[in-house]
């Protein structure tokens, strides 16, 4: 008989710790902590973006998220419960003219609109409300429906070339429909160049203005510019006969959402010379960044690679300047720059960067000390002097640290507010950081528009940092300053 072969019992599978649990116990907690910290730091930026998309009414209601507008087929329409008024309606409350000779003419009162204005096209009617206003009741079949045109004929109370501002007082119905205007006067047709949307439910005035001296000033451009075109009809014998047409164009849901997103940003561009401020900031950023790179690399080379008497004492004095608070040297620096005639110029903001910064010089010294001496010895054998060695041999080796210094100099100069506030008084020379402060003053604290300006100022810094963070981290690491 054959011996029975011994059989080895199959062991049950050992319980293994799940991958997620092992990851959580080893590195997951650290990653979660980093994500939480990142979310805490990014929260102010997201709050700023969300606020820039709100209207003033939504900000006053303490809404966390902005409401999403949708296509409104008709007006009036019922508002949500708890609203100050039960119905949302579009009203015309008057028309006023301002001439270049500083005269103000009331062309039409709100209660007279229903009697003197006509509906030239579209499904609409004018109804007097009895409270010095006329309600515009309209209906659109679809977002592609034909616009509604309201017509008003009147005698211009001044010479046609005295036209300065035409103010149309309205109350919006938050439908986000588009309002445009044309004015036939003196053989010319004035056409509005940018639309106005019926946002919110509050009263407002739409200012229509042709090119005047106001366009050359730095005051808030809150008016709608008018462009002159030849009139389709020959000029009447009476040049003061005027025809105003107000056009109400339906806006789709997508168009309303886009209009709401862009509203505060367009207002920020209109209230201040935004691109002028951006140009000033770019000039300052370029000069400060170049000056900081040159001075840091040049001075650090003398401390790290050259031997000269008193080098250690000079380095100690240089580093000691880092212990001086900037508030201590603020007034003496201002007196010096004013004495040399540089007050109200950009020179006090960018010139100091070309004389070096103790922190950036020390950062570059730490990097240059890690380079082998053989590089300079080989350069000497090849006949290079100290300056050529610095330019051809040393600089290419310190690019990571130079990139980190450039990023930090860019961020500091782009966000600098105190320096321009001290040295500049001419608004045409303001950088964007100080220009946004002027926006706050001109807008009387309109937080939604201020947040839109802050978003526009923050985006370049974030883009530069995220695009160059690899060079920033590498430069800080090789310089021996990693945490």
Residue 80 burial (CB count, 10 A): 7
Domains and CATH numbers, the chain: 74-251 (2.60.120), 274-478 (1.10.3720.10)
**What does each of the 483 residues of the chain score in pLDDT, given as a tens digit?**
445 455 555 554 545 556 777 777 778 788 888 888 888 888 888 999 999 999 988 888 877 889 999 999 999 999 888 778 888 999 999 999 999 998 999 999 999 999 999 999 999 999 998 888 999 999 999 999 999 999 999 999 999 989 999 999 999 999 999 999 999 998 889 999 999 999 988 889 999 999 998 888 888 888 999 999 887 665 555 678 999 999 999 999 999 999 999 999 999 888 888 999 999 999 999 999 999 999 999 999 999 988 889 999 999 999 999 888 888 889 999 999 999 999 999 999 999 999 989 999 999 999 899 888 888 888 888 888 989 999 999 999 998 889 889 989 999 999 999 999 999 999 899 999 998 888 887 777 788 999 999 999 999 888 887 887 776 676 656 554 444
Question: What pLDDT is attached to residue 474?
Answer: 66
Contact 178, 72 (CB under 8 A): no
Question: What pLDDT is attached to residue 99?
Answer: 94
Question: What pLDDT is attached to residue 1?
Answer: 44
Question: What pLDDT is attached to residue 234?
Answer: 58
Question: What pLDDT is attached to residue 439?
Answer: 82
pTM: 0.82
């Amino acid at each position: 008989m054959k011996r029975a072969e011994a059989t080895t019992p199959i062991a049950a599978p050992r319980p293994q710790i799940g991958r997620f649990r092992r990851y959580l116990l080893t590195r997951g907690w650290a990653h979660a902590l980093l994500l939480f910290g990142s979310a805490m730091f990014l929260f102010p930026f997201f709050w700023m973006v969300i606020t820039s998309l709100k209207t003033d009414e939504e900000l006053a209601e303490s809404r966390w998220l902005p409401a999403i507008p949708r296509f409104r087929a008709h007006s009036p329409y019922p508002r949500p419960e708890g609203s100050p008024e039960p119905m949302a309606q579009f009203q015309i409350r008057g028309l006023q003219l301002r001439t270049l000779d500083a005269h103000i003419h009331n062309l039409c009162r709100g209660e007279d609109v229903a009697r003197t204005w006509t509906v030239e096209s579209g499904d609409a009617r004018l109804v007097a409300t009895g409270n010095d206003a006329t309600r515009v009741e309209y209906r659109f079949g679809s977002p592609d429906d034909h616009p509604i045109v309201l017509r008003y004929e009147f005698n211009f109370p001044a010479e046609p070339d005295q036209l300065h501002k035409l103010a149309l007082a309205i109350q919006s119905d938050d439908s986000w429909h588009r309002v445009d205007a044309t004015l036939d006067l003196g053989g010319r047709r004035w056409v509005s160049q940018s639309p106005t949307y019926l946002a919110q439910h509050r009263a407002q005035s739409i200012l229509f203005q042709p090119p005047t001296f106001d366009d050359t000033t730095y005051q808030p451009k809150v008016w709608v510019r008018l462009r002159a075109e030849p009139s389709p009809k020959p000029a009447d014998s009476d040049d003061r006969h005027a025809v105003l047409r107000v056009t109400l164009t339906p806006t789709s849901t997508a168009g309303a959402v886009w209009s709401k997103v862009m509203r505060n940003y367009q207002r920020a561009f209109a209230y201040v010379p935004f691109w002028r401020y951006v140009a000033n900031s770019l000039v300052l950023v370029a000069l400060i960044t170049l000056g900081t790179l040159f001075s840091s690399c040049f001075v650090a080379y003398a401390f790290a690679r050259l031997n000269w008497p008193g080098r250690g004492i000079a380095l100690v004095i240089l580093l000691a300047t880092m212990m001086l608070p900037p508030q201590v040297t603020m007034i003496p620096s201002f007196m010096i720059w004013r004495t040399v005639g540089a007050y109200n110029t950009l020179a006090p903001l960018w010139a100091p960067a070309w004389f070096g910064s103790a922190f950036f010089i020390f950062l570059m010294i730490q990097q240059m000390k890690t380079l082998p001496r053989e590089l300079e010895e080989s350069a000497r054998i090849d006949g290079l002097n100290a300056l050529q060695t610095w330019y051809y041999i040393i600089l290419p080796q310190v690019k990571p640290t130079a990139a980190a210094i450039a990023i930090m100099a860019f961020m500091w100069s782009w966000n600098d507010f105190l320096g321009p506030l001290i040295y500049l008084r001419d608004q045409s020379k303001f950088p964007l950081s100080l220009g946004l402060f002027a926006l706050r003053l001109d807008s009387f604290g309109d937080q939604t528009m201020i947040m839109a300006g802050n978003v526009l100022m923050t985006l370049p810094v974030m883009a530069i940092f995220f695009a160059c963070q690899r060079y920033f981290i590498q430069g800080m690491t090789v310089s021996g300053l990693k945490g």
